[in-house]
Structure 1
Amino acid sequence: MGTFKCFVGALIFTCLVTICSTSIENGGGNIVCYYHNTSYFPPSEVPYRLCTHVIYAFGSISNDTIVPEKPGDLAIYDVLVGFKKWNPKLKVLLSLQHGFPSVVTDTDTMKRFATNAIGFLRHYHFDGVDFDWEFPKLSQKSKFMQFIQIFRDMSSRDAKLRSADLLLISMALGNNKYQASTLYDYTILNKNIDFATIMAYDFHMYIPNVDNITGYNSALVAPKGESPYYSTSGLVKVYLALGLAPEKTLVGIPTYGRSYTLANAKQHGLHAPAVAKGDPGPVRRLRGVYTYTDSCAALKLGAVSVWDSTSGVPYLYKGKTWVSYANEKSVAEKVRWAVSKGLGGVGVWATHLDDLTGECPGPKLPLINAIHSAMKSTSNHEL
């Protein structure tokens, strides 16, 4: 899911034939949280009571099956799946990002992969799989849609044979109008997937000679002078107009920011000239990226925060550093917007980019807590 990620859904009802549904299909109340293992965020800290779904990023595709991406992944699987003992409604999925071209080829290969992958997911007690192919070529679209149909059909047969719940299928969808209008068949997606997270972030980041003025990573509403599609509300409306079912649509919310180096410290507003990615943040030391921990640390060190009431997001600046980031207010506004539009919920990229250190005021993981509180106060679904 790009550089970062997180998601939503639960509450199973029983059905007499093939496919059993989850609350994600009935809309609202879902918080899907992506998690990527890092040295500073152990899996034991994943907020399994704040999220309806946890998606582990990533597994790998190799030899027509799923394999762990790195040593130690099996132990992480055990921790995440083990949370279901304490939160029986929780669903845990495994995300796949790389390797799709090796299996999205002919029908036999796709069926072989589906059989092997379903066996892998069942063996490690996952509740489903997240397809995060970034991105198929236009020439691969029809095969990819066929792949999703085959995977759903074979997972349905598997569930029948096992008398088990159907494995969930989720997707991550691109962050621009071109990808939305060319890469997916929404009739097929609506019929075969359980939910899809629209990656409504990375609208702007410093790219030399391409995107070299300051811009919002994930505005709710596009600022004046920009295309409406460079915003959460504008992009989601594109997907809905193209036919993606609202109840299966999740609004992607980032917990990280994008940083810039200003050309002139005195020009520090939106659309100010920039000359490079921002210097490494004060805590995580990532160039061009601020985790929420970095943003809070920067504010403690004297950075100035500005709230844009039109776009529903803040930015901060200090010296020649400028950062478009998320805070509790901005993520809560996105949750309320998603609920007001009757969408399936929100997907968060990512748990490990929220603050676990206490650098930010309030509880641990303040952004995910704010998302949960906003969803609980506005949704009719029990969390």
Structure 2
Amino acid sequence: MTITLISKMLSIAIVLCVLFVIYGFMSKLSLTFLGFTSSTKLTSLSGPPVHQWNFENATLFLPGITNRLYRQEVYSRAARHHSRHLHGPKKYHVTRRQQQINHSFRRVCYYTVPSEEWPFLQPGQIDVSLCTHIIIGFAKISGGLLAPVGEKDEVIYKEVIELKKLAPELKILLSVGGASNDLGFHSVIETLEDREEFAVNSAKYLIKMGFDGIDVDWEFPAWYRPFEERFMFQMLLQELYYVYKNPLYNLTISVAVAASKSIIDRSYRVAQMAKYVDFVSLMGYDFHSFKWYLPLTGHNSPLYPRSDEWNMFSTVNLNWTSFYWVQLGMPREKIVIGLPTYGQTYQLYNPNFHGLYAPAIGAGTVGIGGQISYPVVCQFLANGGIREFDAESRVPFAYHKRSWISYDDEQSLEEKAKWIRSNYFGGVMVFDLNCDDYNNICGNNTFPLIKSILRGLTT
């Protein structure tokens, strides 16, 4: 009986070994078929090892192959590396080299072209002392060319560019895309000729208008789209880099990037992107807003996770996502942390339950489309709204009757700016100038939110 059992176990072990060998052989064969090998070769005795696989070659993106490339590059790496970052607490250390980097913090301010749906800030009302960069949003891609969305947008462009007379060091960039205006990117990435044509034509347009660069706001490559876009997006940035950094143009390239881990993993090859951009603006907001599938209140832009948040919920905050970008290969000095001047609104299911993760039945009735500017928040508080401050996530929220608002104020933004400075990131991005209190409605001076950020960066 014992001999029979031992023989069965040996047989099973032999079969498993054979299957393992076959699996290894087939894996190597498939990688060879794809053109990838884990071995490296030295370009010189002193040069770094170079992988033989070349993602830059657009001809390799054939139907069916990209799916395997994506799984190989993202999921296998996540299983052995990113999962530790996700499920285990990680203490971040700033190296001595990072401490010695002497860079001035970028102060990037988005300015939205005035419209009926958004606060109507005129170019002449902008305080140019607040920003090192102003990004005008948003242009579109039409017929492979940069184009304004509205008929009078170019007039606004010129009025903002005129502000450089007051601040010669100010950089003005044009943002292309946006949450509802980025479909044009699909038409300029398919072939090398399309990417080259867009890069040259867009550079000429920016120079003609007087801009200093472009802000690529594609939300988001490969999100609900084929995997190929993940790689094509990188090659688009590469082509922009080759053209924009020509001394003939010498233009800045920035990219507005997502904060959600799922989008980051799907949309970006971070370390490769870093070679072609001057900086990325990490959109550190919209972490929570009303969704029918998650009808609960939540912070728009929490700095830290709460102790009762776990798994994926513990990643939905500025601290986690910022260092995730560092871990994936984006240099800290190129990461500009995005902070909001607007808030998110909710309509409570029951006014008696008004804390965090309280049941909600829809977006709030105050504000515009579920979003609210800071002056309206001040009016909400003056009319009976009760402010509370989350000591763990380090952001406030307010409620009154059925209305619930997540927002940032001077206290939370100054603390976030100090966090940015102490962790040696590249600066701060504000979205946007329009939603700050530029008319001094709150009674704390004009642009109080952005000025509180400046205090945090300098004190």
TM-score with structure 2 setting the length: 0.73
Distance 2:151 2:385 in 1: 39
- Deviation per CA, 1:229-277, whole angstroms, max 9, x where unpaired? 1101111111111111100001110111111111111111111111111
Kept in 2, the 8 Å contact 1:27–1:248? The answer is no
Shift of 1:49: 1.1
2:216 matches 1:152: no
Contact 1:51-1:372 at 8 Å conserved across structures: no
1:229-378 to 2 correspondence within 5 Å?
229-281=315-367, 286-377=368-459
User: How far apart in 2 are the matches of 1:43 and 1:71?
Assistant: 17
Query: How many angstroms apart in 2 are the aligned matches of 1:246 and 1:76?
Result: 33
| C-alpha distance in structure 2 between counterparts of 1:56 and 1:175, whole Å | 21
In structure 2, what residue type is equivalent to 1:101? H
| Residue pairs, 1:133-282, within 5 angstroms | 133-137=218-222, 138-157=227-246, 159=247, 162=248, 166-208=250-292, 210-226=293-309, 227-281=313-367
> CA offsets per residue over residues 334-370 of structure 1, 9 Å max, x none?
1111111110011111111111232213111111111
- Name the SS for the 1:228 alignment partner: helix
Q: Deviations over 1:153-184 (max 9, x none)?
A: 01223x2xx3x6x2000001112011222321
| Secondary structure of residue in 1 paired with 2:210 | coil
Counterpart code for 2:329: G
Asked if residue 32 in structure 1 is aligned to residue 108 in structure 2, the reply is yes
Structure 1 residues 82-130: Cα deviation after superposition (integer angstroms, max 9, x where no partner): 1111111110000001210010110001101111100000001100000
Please list every run of at least 4 consecutive aligned residues from structure 1 whose deviation after the TM superposition is greater than 4 angstroms.
none
Following superposition, the deviation at residue 199 of structure 1 comes to 0.8
Question: In proportion to residue count, which structure has more helix?
Answer: 2
2:149 is matched with which residue?
Answer: 69
Check whether the contact 2:420–2:457 (CA below 8 A) recurs between aligned residues: no
1:90 to 148, 164, 170: 170
**1:123 aligned onto 2:198:** no
Aligned match of 1:81 in 153, 161, 164? 161
SS in 2 for 1:49: helix
- Aligned mates of 1:278, 1:44 — CA distance in 2: 32
One-letter code aligned to 2:163: F
Mapped contact 2:271–2:328 kept (Cα < 8 A): no
**1-structure distance, mates of 2:270, 2:291:** 32
Q: Which has the higher contact order (CA 8 A, sep 6+)?
A: 1
* C-alpha distance in structure 1 between counterparts of 2:126 and 2:175, whole Å: 16
SS of residue paired to 2:140: strand
Question: Which consecutive unaligned segments of at least 5 residues does structure 2 have?
Answer: 1-100
Residue 10 of structure 1: aligned partner:
none
Q: Alignment length, in residue pairs? A: 343
Is the 1:28–1:339 contact (alpha carbons within 8 Å) kept by the matching residues of 2?
Answer: no
Contact 1:61 1:96 (8 Å CA) reproduced: yes
Tell me, in whole angstroms, the C-alpha distance in 2 between the residues paired with 1:307 and 1:188. 39
Match of residue 56, structure 1, among 136, 140, 159 = 136
99-108 or 60-69: which moved more?
60-69
Measure, in 1, the Cα distance between the counterparts of 2:398 and 2:439.
Answer: 20
* 1: CA distance, partners of 2:151 / 2:305: 42
Normalised TM-score (structure 1)? 0.87
Q: What residue in structure 2 maps to residue 15 of structure 1?
A: none
Deviations 1:53-101 (A, max 9, x none): 0000011111221111111112111111111111111100000012100
Cα RMSD over matched residues?
A: 1.4
Q: What SS does the corresponding residue of 1:88 show, helix, strand or coil?
A: coil
Structure having the higher Rg = 2
Partners of 1:376 and 1:323 in 2: how far apart? 29
The alpha-carbon distance between structure 1 residues 287 and 109, as it changes in their structure 2 partners (threshold 3 A), is closer
In structure 1, stretches of 5+ residues that fail to align are 1-24, 378-383
CA positional deviation for 1:187: 2.8
**Could you tell me how far 1:26 is from its partner in structure 2?**
6.2
